Structure 1
Amino acid sequence: MDELTEVRELRAEAPAPDRARLAPGRARLLDAARAGERRRVWARPRFVIIGVAAAVTAVAVTASLLVGRDEARELTTPAALTNADLKGMSAAELLERAAEVVEGQPTVPRPRARQWIYTLTTDEAAAAELDEKTLAEYGDWSAYAEDWIRFDGAEHAFQQRDPYGKPIRVHVREMQAEKGADRTPSDMYRTLSALPADGEGALRAIRKEDALTDQKGTTRAENDYIEINHLLGAEVKPPKGLAGLYRALATLPGLSVVDHLVEDASGRRLVALDTGRPSGERWLFDPVTYQVVGTQDVQDGRTTGGSTVVETAVVDKPGERG
């Protein structure tokens, strides 16, 4: 048994998404799909997709490779964070606790260049808009997206479905890097693998690499956040590198912990770290493994954007799900 097989087995006991909870934006998503719109999740530029068909229903997704819950519990035995724990907790305290937990999780083997990262991802805004009528007619499939990206970044694939959610085919497209856009999953794995464990050291390394073009008129802290945000969305994150990234994030101003667990579109209760940005962006963490699972934008108590990873696996070809 090779290491990648072992990684896949870590996910065997992960809970399946509770699709009965979701169905409520489908009409909007279907209209957008028919118009050829492709929704972005985690609000990050990625690649130019060559020859994309107009009428598709899946989207390009950036995902993180998560460690299996049960395995993480055995290795780190952290107590799950509760509402009581979160009251009065600072962002620095949360991120240091998260860094210590992920450091004890198993090493994520580097996938081969031609392997693929599969992700099942929620669309948080669409799920918030699903209603009982569309749920009864169509089910909840439009609140999720299934995507595959090759580890070397050469190709991307997505699942096309009919209006009732039945899979039609998996589309595979070549990809070319867009100037100033995100790097490949392989590039980001390399960067994370080399990050120092301490926050200041990790931040210096991130600044030195300067992977994304600085935006004009922004402060150093804002540019630091853009770079860290980019890496938090990596498809495969080595635990030690992720720990350094959490500590680098903790050095930035404006962060605060939401004082209660929040629910994502799949029904999971998660820890939310408010970034203080005008979009209302929150980073979401599993309260046991402390893995980052995605984002949620909240404005005036209403979910307006974001996405979270529900399932992810390293597979050998698009269409496989681990």
Structure 2
Amino acid sequence: MTDSTASRNRPDDRDEIARLLPAPADRDLTREQHLRHKELLMHHIDHDRAASAAAAEPVRRTPWRRPVLVASATALALAGALTAGVAMTGTEGRAHGGTAATATESRPAAALLHRISAAAARHDTPTVRDDQFVYTREKIREADVTSGKAVVGPLKDYESWLAQEPGPLHKLGLFRVDGETLPINAQLGDTEGTPAGLGRPTYRWLGSLPTDPGRLLDYLYAKTPEAERRQRDQAVFEQIGSLLGGVMPPRTAAALYRAAAEIPGVRRTAEARDVIGRQGLGIVRDDTRYGVRTEWVFDAKDYVFLGARTYLTRDTSYGKAGTLLSGTAELAHAVVDEAGQRPADGDRTRTA
């Protein structure tokens, strides 16, 4: 049995870990941790569907807790186990990517992503030193599923300052939500600190990724954390989405969009809006197992990444079709010298 096969068969222990840990303080949540909520939500929905189909005893739900990098730490461990499986997992989905109808449906998406890629490649290459911080300002909205129902919270102002040192680091930066500033600490389990990587994508690390779309996609299929019964293609699509919108080398951004165009099931949507209502061009992929759609929104004029939304596409125990699970709207990005420092208006950019 290969390492990659073993990792796929290994039980997912994230919910159990989250149950054993005390719930952290409210708002103690970074954007990266927030992105992991969706993965845990999918796990809950999958268990509910399996229990219903088998007419078995109802699944005992683990109390929902803000994971504070619990999921991230486990995901990194799983990612490490995948390094030997590049050849197997790197072509999964692409090798049997679907029917001719699927290929026809995806062609408009590929054409749009190639135009977005070309626009990203034309951006100026910023100078980012290892001792600096990447600043992001955005609006976020998320659903709380503690009660077993998706309760959509209010729109929040979010700022972050992410350290660019390769690390490993114990202090990764700062984030500010609705005026409250909190530290971003090393991921749970990283006793030596968290290094640059998928869980902490620094500018230098992003610049080290393959710029050939095929090689980059192979890398992402191998390194993206696995979750039990989760659609692999969807996980990689969302992993790419988690990297978009920040300050990154133009060649890397261009390669990411071209890599996304090769993922089976990626489609273009006629109308898309970010979480603050800005309308743009949409790229979507549906996770048919869970009835969830992830949508990327781009400016129709310059192809800049505006934000992303994830919402239910069918009625579930968590809510009606269309219920928002998470959403972001990118407002500004910059490079600053200190954590907590806001850039001057002229230094702010929006980066695809």
**TM-score (structure 1 length as normaliser):** 0.58
Aligned equivalent of 1:211, options 198, 206, 223: 223
Equivalent in the alignment of 1:246 = 257
Q: What is the rounded CA distance, in whole Å, between the counterparts of 2:233 and 2:106 in structure 1?
A: 24
Residue of structure 2 equivalent to 1:195: 210
The higher-RCO structure (CA 8 Å, 6+ apart) is: 1
The one-letter code matched in structure 1 to 2:223 is A
CA distance in 1, matches of 2:279, 2:269: 12
Aligned match for 2:182, one of 171, 183, 189:
171
Q: Which residue of 2 aligns with 1:183?
A: 199
Query: What residue number does 1:159 align with?
Result: 176
- Of 271, 274, 281 in structure 1, the residue corresponding to residue 281 of structure 2 is 271
Q: Is the 8 A contact 1:285 1:293 kept in 2?
A: yes
Matched residue of 2:161: which SS?
strand
Distance across 2 between alignment mates of 1:178 and 1:202: 27
- Is 2:294 the partner of 1:281? yes
Gaps of 5+ in 2: 1-23, 38-67, 70-104, 144-150, 313-320, 344-352
The alpha carbon displacement at 1:246 in A equals 0.8
CA contact (8 A) 2:283 2:296 kept: yes
Alpha-carbon displacement from aligned partner over 1:214-263 (angstroms, at most 9, x marks no partner): 33445653454354344436x43211111111111111111111102x33
Distance 2:303 2:327 in 1: 18
Residues 1:292 and 2:305 are matched in the alignment: yes
Pairs aligned (count): 228
Distance 2:263 2:286 in 1: 11
CA contact (8 A) 1:275 1:283 kept: no
Residues 297/183 of structure 1: CA separation in 2 closer, same or farther (3 Å cut): closer
Taking the aligned partners of 1:159 and 1:45, their CA distance within structure 2 comes to 19
Distance 1:215 1:171, change over 3 A: closer
Q: Which runs of 5+ in 1 are unaligned?
A: 1-33, 47-58, 61-86, 131-139, 162-166
In 2, Cα distance between equivalents of 1:272 and 1:39: 27
Given that 1:189 and 1:236 are in contact with CA atoms closer than 8 Å, whether structure 2 keeps it comes out as no
1:104 aligns with 122
Change over 3 Å in CA distance of 1:281–1:113 after alignment to 2: same
User: Where do 1:93-172 residues align within 5 Å?
Assistant: 93-109=111-127, 111-125=128-142, 143-152=156-165, 154-159=171-176, 167=179, 170-172=181-183
Q: 1:190 to 1:276 in 2, by over 3 A?
A: same
2:234, 2:286 within 8 Å by CA — same for their partners in 1? no
Kept after mapping to 2: 8 A contact 1:123/1:305? yes
Contact 2:126 / 2:249 at 8 angstroms: preserved in 1?
yes
**Partner residue in 2 for 1:315:** 336
User: Which stretch of the first structure deviates more once superposed, 170-179 or 96-105?
Assistant: 170-179
In the TM superposition, residue 289 of structure 1 has moved relative to its aligned partner by 2.9
Partner letter of residue 292 of structure 2?
S
Return the alpha-carbon distance in structure 2 between the equivalents of residues 38 and 265 of structure 1: 22
Q: Matched residues in 2 for 1:212 and 1:230: separation?
A: 11
Contact 2:240 2:260 in 1 (8 A): yes
Percent identity, please.
23
SS at match of 1:305: strand
State the alpha-carbon separation in 1 of the partners of residues 139 and 333 from structure 2. Answer: 12
User: Cα deviations across residues 131-157 of structure 1 (Å, max 9, x unaligned)?
Assistant: xxxxxxxxx9x5211222212363221
CA contact (8 A) 2:30 2:184 kept: no
- CA-atom RMSD in angstroms: 3.8
What residue identity is the alignment partner of 1:183? Answer: G
For residues 179-221 of structure 1, the C-alpha deviation after alignment (integer angstroms, 9 at most, x for no partner) is 69943232x6424444224x323323444xx333433445653
Checking the alignment, whether the CA contact within 8 Å between 1:116 and 1:317 is kept in structure 2 is yes
User: Which SS does the other structure have where 2:129 is aligned?
Assistant: coil
| Aligned CA distance change for structure 1 residues 44 and 159 (closer, same or farther; 3 Å) | closer
